[in-house]
C-alpha cells in the first residue's frame, strides 16, 4: 500500500542543498491511501486514536516525531510555546488529487497541574506516522525532525509494520468489579461534607469523583473496546492513548474547545439524568448546576474573545441511557489568541471541578479527591492551521493488563442528595462497562478478523 522506496527518494530530494536552505524544524509528507488499512492496535503498543463517527473522522497515530511534556502551573504556557514553534517551523509537503488535510499534533493533560502517573501531566506531540480518514478519503502523514530525514523512512516503515502486526484471536472478556462498600460510604460522607461547605457559603458547587476497579482472567482488547465505544456513542469523541503496557481510553460527550478559523465552540454540559431517574433532568438542582457552568464559560471567553453567543435555554442531549443539559457556546477569537490561551482560561470548568474555581480546587485537594491519568483533563488534536478539537476526558478508563479502572463523577450543589449522586456515577460507569464486555467477532477499529 505504501511505496517506501519512493518515499525515500522523495525525502532525498527534500534533503538537497537547495531544499535544505529552506529552514524548518519539522517536516511532514502527506500521501493519499486507497483505503483504510487493516490495523492491529495491541494493548502493549504505542499509539493514539481519535474518532468522531458523526463527523466521518478517524485517526490513528504512532511514534513521536516531536514532543513536549510539562507539569505545574505553567504547563499550558510550555505547550503554547511548542505549538507556536511548530506553526513557525513546520514544513508540509503533500501529494494527491484531493486537497490533503493539514498535519497535526495530539495533546492531552490531567485535571490538576501537579501529579504523575502512567501519562505525562501535560503533553503535546506530533506522531511520526498518522493515518487519517475524512469522509471516506484516507491519508497517511509521515513526520520527522528535519535533521532526521535520512533515518526517517526506516522508522516509519517499522511503525507501519507494528500497526499491522497479526493480532491474537479474540476471546470474550469477563470483568469482575472489585467493589468495597466502604468506598461507597466514603463517597457519601464526602458528599455530605461538600453540602456543608456549600451551605456555609465556601463554594457553590463541587464535583466529586469515584474510581471503579475491575479484574478479568482475559483482558479486553483495546481495539474492541474502542470499536464498541464508537458504535454506541456516535455523537461523542472516542479516544485512546497506549504506552508502557497501559491504555487510557473513553468516549467523551463534552467539547472543551473547538477552533475553526476564528470560530470558537465550547460545550456547557452539566445536569444528568438516566433511565432510572429520567424525571430529574428538568429539576431546579440540575438547572442551577448547568447555569453555573454556562456563566463560567461565558466569563472565561469574554476575557479573550468577542461576539459570544449563549443559547437562551439548554438543549436535551441524549447518549444512550444518559441524558444531559447542554448549551453550545460560540465566540470569535482575535488572530493572536491561541488554543492554549483559551484552554488556560477555561480549564477546569465548573462541570468537572466546581465554582468558584480556586475554592473548589482547594476543597477537593483537602478532601482527598484524586483523579488518575487524564480523567476530567483534556484530550484532542491541534493542526498546523491552528484548528483544534479538544474534549474533556470523560466516560473513560485505564486498561492495565488484567485490570481496568473506570472513572466517573457527580456535581453537588445546594439540594443535592449524596445517594442520588452515587447512583449517577454508577450510571456513568455503564458507558465503559458495556464496552468492556462487548467483544465483537469483527473489530471495525482495526477492520480485521
Residue 79 shares a structural domain with residue 216? no
Q: Radius of gyration (Cα) for the chain, nearest Å?
A: 22
What is the residue range of 403's domain?
175-436
Residue 125 shares a structural domain with residue 30? yes
Q: What is the pLDDT of residue 5?
A: 80
Per-residue pLDDT of the chain (449 residues; tens, 9 = 90+): 788 888 877 777 765 554 554 567 888 999 999 999 888 888 888 999 999 999 999 999 999 999 999 999 999 999 999 998 888 888 888 876 678 888 999 999 999 998 768 899 999 999 999 999 998 999 999 999 888 888 899 999 999 998 887 655 455 567 888 888 899 999 999 999 999 999 999 999 999 999 999 999 888 889 989 999 999 999 999 999 999 899 999 999 999 999 999 999 999 998 888 765 555 566 787 888 899 999 999 999 999 999 999 999 999 898 888 888 999 999 999 999 999 999 999 999 999 999 999 999 999 999 988 898 999 999 999 998 889 999 999 999 999 999 999 999 999 999 999 999 999 999 999 999 988 876 444 444 444 33
In sequence order, the β-bridge partners of residue 249 are 240, 397
3-state DSSP call for residue 150?
Answer: coil
Return the active site residues: 205, 254
Residue 386 shares a structural domain with residue 266? yes
Residue 156 shares a structural domain with residue 239? no
Q: What is the pLDDT of residue 441?
A: 42
Q: Which of 128, 163, 198 represents a domain boundary (last residue)?
A: 163
Residue 317 shares a structural domain with residue 257? yes
Residue 110 CA to residue 296 CA, distance in Å, equals: 20
Domains in the chain: how many in total?
A: 2
45 part of a folded domain: yes
Residue 226 shares a structural domain with residue 357? yes
Q: Which of 163, 197, 216 represents a domain boundary (last residue)?
A: 163
Residue 340 shares a structural domain with residue 193? yes
Q: Which of 143, 196, 215, 271 is nearest to 402 (CA)?
A: 215
Using CA atoms, how far residue 132 sits from 62, 100, 140, 361, in Å, is: 12, 10, 6, 38
Write down the pTM of the prediction.
0.93
Residue 96 shares a structural domain with residue 38? yes
Residue 380 shares a structural domain with residue 231? yes
Q: What is the pLDDT of residue 429?
A: 94
Residue 231 CA to residue 107 CA, distance in Å, equals: 24
Q: What is the pLDDT of residue 211?
A: 95
Residue 154 shares a structural domain with residue 179? no
Q: Which of 106, 134, 163 represents a domain boundary (last residue)?
A: 163
The answer to whether 301 touches 257, Cβ cutoff 8 Å, is no
Residue 302 shares a structural domain with residue 330? yes
Residue 222 shares a structural domain with residue 371? yes
The answer to whether 86 touches 105, Cβ cutoff 8 Å, is yes
- Angle at 172 (CA atoms; ends 171, 175), nearest 5 degrees: 130
CATH number of residue 226's parent domain: 3.60.120.10
For residue 136, how many other CB atoms are within 10 A of its CB?
8
- Which position has the grid cell 441524549? 318
Amino acid at each position: 500500500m505504501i511505496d517506501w522506496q519512493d518515499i525515500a527518494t522523495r525525502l532525498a530530494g527534500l534533503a538537497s542543498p537547495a531544499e535544505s536552505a529552506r529552514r524548518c524544524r519539522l517536516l511532514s509528507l502527506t500521501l493519499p491511501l486507497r483505503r483504510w488499512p487493516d490495523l492491529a492496535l495491541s494493548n502493549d503498543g504505542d499509539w493514539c486514536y481519535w474518532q468522531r463517527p458523526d463527523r466521518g473522522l478517524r485517526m490513528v497515530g504512532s511514534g513521536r516525531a516531536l514532543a513536549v511534556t510539562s507539569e505545574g502551573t505553567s504547563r499550558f504556557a510550555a505547550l503554547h510555546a511548542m505549538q507556536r514553534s511548530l506553526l513557525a517551523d513546520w514544513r508540509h509537503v503533500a501529494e494527491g488529487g484531493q486537497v490533503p488535510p493539514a498535519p497535526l499534533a495530539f495533546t492531552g493533560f490531567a485535571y490538576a497541574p501537579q501529579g504523575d502517573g502512567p501519562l505525562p501531566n501535560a503533553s503535546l506531540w506530533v506522531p511520526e506516522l498518522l493515518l487519517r480518514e475524512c469522509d471516506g478519503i484516507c491519508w497517511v502523514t509521515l513526520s520527522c525532525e528535519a535533521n532526521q530525514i535520512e533515518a526517517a523512512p526506516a522508522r516509519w516503515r517499522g511503525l507501519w509494520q507494528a500497526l499491522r502486526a497479526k493480532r491474537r484471536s479474540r476471546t470474550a472478556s469477563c470483568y469482575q468489579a472489585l467493589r468495597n462498600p466502604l468506598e461507597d460510604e466514603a463517597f457519601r460522607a464526602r458528599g455530605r461534607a461538600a453540602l456543608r461547605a456549600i451551605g456555609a457559603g465556601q463554594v457553590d458547587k463541587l464535583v466529586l469523583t469515584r474510581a471503579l476497579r475491575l479484574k478479568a482472567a482475559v483482558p479486553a482488547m483495546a481495539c474492541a473496546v474502542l470499536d464498541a465505544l464508537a458504535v454506541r456513542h456516535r455523537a461523542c469523541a472516542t479516544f485512546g492513548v497506549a504506552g508502557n503496557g497501559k491504555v487510557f481510553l473513553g468516549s467523551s460527550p463534552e467539547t472543551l474547545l473547538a477552533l475553526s478559523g476564528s470560530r470558537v465552540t465550547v460545550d456547557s454540559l452539566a445536569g444528568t439524568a438516566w433511565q432510572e431517574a429520567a424525571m430529574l433532568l428538568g429539576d431546579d438542582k440540575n438547572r442551577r448546576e448547568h447555569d453555573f457552568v454556562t456563566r463560567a464559560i461565558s466569563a472565561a471567553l469574554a476575557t479573550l474573545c468577542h461576539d459570544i453567543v449563549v443559547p437562551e435555554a439548554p438543549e436535551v442531549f441524549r447518549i444512550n441511557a444518559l441524558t444531559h443539559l447542554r448549551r453550545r457556546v460560540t465566540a470569535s477569537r482575535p488572530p493572536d489568541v491561541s488554543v492554549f490561551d483559551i484552554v488556560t482560561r477555561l480549564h477546569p470548568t465548573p462541570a468537572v471541578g466546581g465554582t468558584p474555581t480556586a475554592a473548589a480546587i482547594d476543597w477537593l485537594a483537602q478532601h482527598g479527591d484524586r483523579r488518575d491519568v487524564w480523567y476530567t483533563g483534556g484530550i484532542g488534536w491541534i493542526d498546523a492551521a491552528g484548528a483544534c478539537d479538544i474534549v474533556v476526558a470523560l466516560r473513560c478508563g485505564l486498561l492495565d493488563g488484567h485490570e481496568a479502572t473506570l472513572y466517573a463523577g457527580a456535581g453537588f450543589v445546594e439540594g443535592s442528595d449524596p445517594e442520588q449522586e452515587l447512583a449517577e456515577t454508577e450510571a456513568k460507569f455503564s458507558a465503559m462497562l458495556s464496552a468492556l464486555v462487548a467483544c465483537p467477532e469483527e473489530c471495525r477499529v482495526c477492520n480485521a478478523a
